[in-house]
Amino acid sequence: MKLDGRAVLLTGASGGIGRATALRLAGRGVRLALMARNEAPLRALAEEITKSGGQAIAIPGDVRLSADATRVVAETTARFGGLDALVNGAGLGHLKAIDESSDAEIQEQVDVNLMGVIWMTRAALPALLARAGSAIVNVGSYAGRVAAPYYSYYAASKFAVAGLTEAWRRELRIRGLRVTLLVPAATETPWLDKAGRTRAIGIGPAGTILRPETVARAVERALRSHPAEIYLPLRNHGLAVFNLAFPALGDRIVTSLFRYSRKR
């Protein structure tokens, strides 16, 4: 996809990976609709992009609500005359043991990380199918391929996103819509501190921390060339395949890299 002049709807745009992605795409001439729950930073980002000569509109909304998804897509298409791509970037996580997580925390992760992707994609689908060469990029997580201790509920939501993306990639390709899954390692965002760095980050290869700008570059690559999946860093792809092929050995390796497993 040639990016200049394309209309892209980006969720989770108010900070972290979303903010970095918005700034990068705006610099490539993309017309952006920015969606997030936190209105103040969202509007500030749209203003920053506009002052720099780009095109961006802020549309506050909650991906957990199908009505908000429908409204945001409608506002986007009304403003830009259509939609070329959807980047599902909204996400959150609570890294807690199986019996530490509250019902509300478990439900929130499912609602934002999984149902948010579903509601946004279903709402955007007619507009995307109306444009030749359109694309969907789902920002997943390495925890959606290899699950570590305390990641269970977060990982479950991200494993589901990986399954959705794989099915949609095969289903929608024949309809002219390309779908890509991003599989980043832990990224330097406020989420790390909220979730707890000692639980989110392991040692050795499990201690990799990406910059948001690295993920933003991958989003740009996904929109331009539509690969099936992008692992960040690339070596994680091999580790994921190994974990799938040899789960018992994978257990030993992962638990040795994450040294905080709780014992009773």
From 142, 151, 153, 154, the catalytic residue = 154
Q: State both tokens at 80.
A: 């830009």
Strands 135-139 and 178-184: parallel
154 is catalytic: yes
Q: State both tokens at 229.
A: 């999946």
3-class secondary-structure state, position 135: strand
Other beta carbons within 10 angstroms of residue 4's beta carbon come to 8
Sheet with strand 135-139: strands edge to edge: 55-58, 31-35, 7-11, 85-88, 135-139, 178-184, 229-232
CB-neighbour burial class of residue 252 (10 A; exposed 0-12, middle 13-18, buried 19+): exposed
Catalytic residues: 154
